[in-house]
Structure 1
Amino acid sequence: MPSKLYVGNLAYSVSSDDLRELFLQAGQVQSATVISDKFSGQSKGFGFVEMGSPDEAARAIQQFNETELKGRNIKVNEAKPREGGFGGGGNRGGGNRGGGNRGRDRW
């Protein structure tokens, strides 16, 4: 099990320091981050915590999932890689697909 955790259903008043302080009860915290809107700075209501080991991450899930933090029952589970996201590019350019000479005389 990886040691990075998703923490959801956070009250907007929860800070990264609040997350770190809470999760220290389950073991060593490598990082704790509440995700915020890049324009307004407002919390998006979720964050990520990276624990020191997979065992500590499992303990944190067991200890904190569905527990109350600042008036809301938080969700804690293993962080999953983003699906879709911003990778891959895709064929967005369109480009010249030929056929530009249609309807012209060929002789």
Structure 2
Amino acid sequence: MKLYVGNLSFSTTEDDLRDLFAQAGTVTSVNVIRHRDSGRSRGFAFVEMSTQVEAETAISMFSDYLLDNREIRVNIARPREERSDRRRGGRRRS
């Protein structure tokens, strides 16, 4: 089950999150989201736990947990929305 982890310090690494969330169970993946151009952290990540029970344990253990001097937020990740290939608004050129 995928978790959203927000309010991260820009210095928090995937290894930091993997080590922390391993206290709640088996971590199957960690992905710190970065700016496309600069490579700098955007301040949030996705952590995937192997079971729903482990994910719920992680939420209860780490919501408002102090990591790198920041109170992190942990929630179940929302499904990614489908992106449309169509442009929104504006005038089309012909």
Give me the identity figure in percent. Answer: 49
Gapped regions of structure 1 (runs ≥ 5):
97-107
Give 2:9's aligned amino acid.
Answer: A
Q: Give the length in aligned residue pairs.
A: 92
Query: Offset at 1:39?
Result: 1.1
Describe how 1:50-69 pairs up with structure 2 within 5 A: 50-69=48-67
CA deviations on 1:53-83 (whole Å, 9 max, x unpaired) are 0110000000000010010000000000234
In 2, Cα distance between equivalents of 1:8 and 1:74 = 6
Q: How does the TM-score come out when normalised to structure 1?
A: 0.78
Describe how 1:1-107 pairs up with structure 2 within 5 A: 3-83=1-81, 87-90=83-86, 94=92
Give 1:45's aligned amino acid.
Answer: G
Q: CA RMSD in A?
A: 1.9
Q: How does the TM-score come out when normalised to structure 2?
A: 0.88
Structure having the higher Rg: 1
- Note if contact 1:27-1:51 (Cα within 8 Å) is conserved in structure 2: yes
Runs of 4+ in 1 over 3 A off after TM superposition: 91-96
